[in-house]
């Protein structure tokens, strides 16, 4: 009897991510995007992503670069690590990091001012920074709840003003 062997890919369909999206004719933050002409310097998009030195934030930053952002800044409290350095090698000169504490408005304002001074403009911001503690909800202290609420809810709302 003949046997059929089915080869499975190293990754499943769910694990394979496509981050390139078509932006032609779409509106991003009130600005129409057109692919008819190559972007001029004034049309190149500069974006900042909070908490983008690693993890989901870095993934968002990479997606921005995949979608032709000219420059992406990470605003994060931590120093960039190996994951960030590897991404910088993939996009030389297009991914930068500024250290700032997003819970302190003055450090974020200083970081944004620096970005505008260095790059000439800031066209978009993704407020990604957040925190979690992996334990049962009833085990959180009141201080932990306030700290998590501050970084995950209050700070992102402040960025909207």
**Confidence (pLDDT) at 32:** 41
Residues 6 or more apart in contact with residue 65 via CB below 8 angstroms: 72, 90, 91, 94, 95
Which one is predicted more confidently, 108 or 30?
A: 108
Which one is predicted more confidently, 158 or 124?
A: 124
* Alpha-carbon dihedral sign for residues 54, 60, 47, 132: negative
Pairing, β 27-28 against β 31-32: antiparallel
Confidence band for 148, pLDDT divided at 50, 70 and 90: confident
**Confidence (pLDDT) at 159:** 66
Q: Which two tokens stand for residue 102?
A: 């997003």
Most confident range (mean pLDDT) of 29-33, 58-62, 120-124 is 58-62
Q: What is the pLDDT of residues 61-81, one digit of tens each?
A: 999 999 999 999 999 988 999
- Give the range among 84-88, 95-99, 121-125 with minimum mean pLDDT: 121-125
> Among residues of the chain, what percentage have pLDDT more than 70?
70
Q: What are phi and psi of 64, to 5 degrees?
A: -60, -45
Q: pTM of whole model > 0.75?
A: no
Give the Cα separation of 82 and 85 in Å (integer): 5
């Amino acid at each position: 009897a003949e046997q059929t062997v089915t080869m499975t890919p190293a990754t499943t369909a769910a694990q394979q991510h496509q981050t390139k999206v078509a932006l032609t004719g779409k509106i991003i933050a009130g600005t129409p995007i057109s692919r008819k002409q190559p972007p001029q310097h004034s049309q190149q998009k500069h974006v900042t992503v909070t908490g983008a030195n690693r993890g989901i934030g870095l993934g968002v930053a990479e997606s921005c670069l995949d979608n032709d952002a000219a420059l992406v800044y990470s605003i994060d409290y931590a120093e960039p690590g190996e994951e960030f350095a590897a991404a910088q090698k993939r996009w030389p000169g297009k991914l930068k990091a500024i250290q700032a504490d997003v819970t302190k408005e003055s450090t974020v304002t200083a970081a944004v001012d620096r970005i505008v001074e260095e790059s000439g403009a800031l066209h978009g911001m993704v407020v990604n920074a957040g925190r979690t503690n992996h334990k049962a909800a009833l085990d959180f202290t009141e201080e932990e709840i306030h700290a998590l609420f501050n970084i995950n809810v209050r700070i992102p709302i402040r960025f909207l003003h």
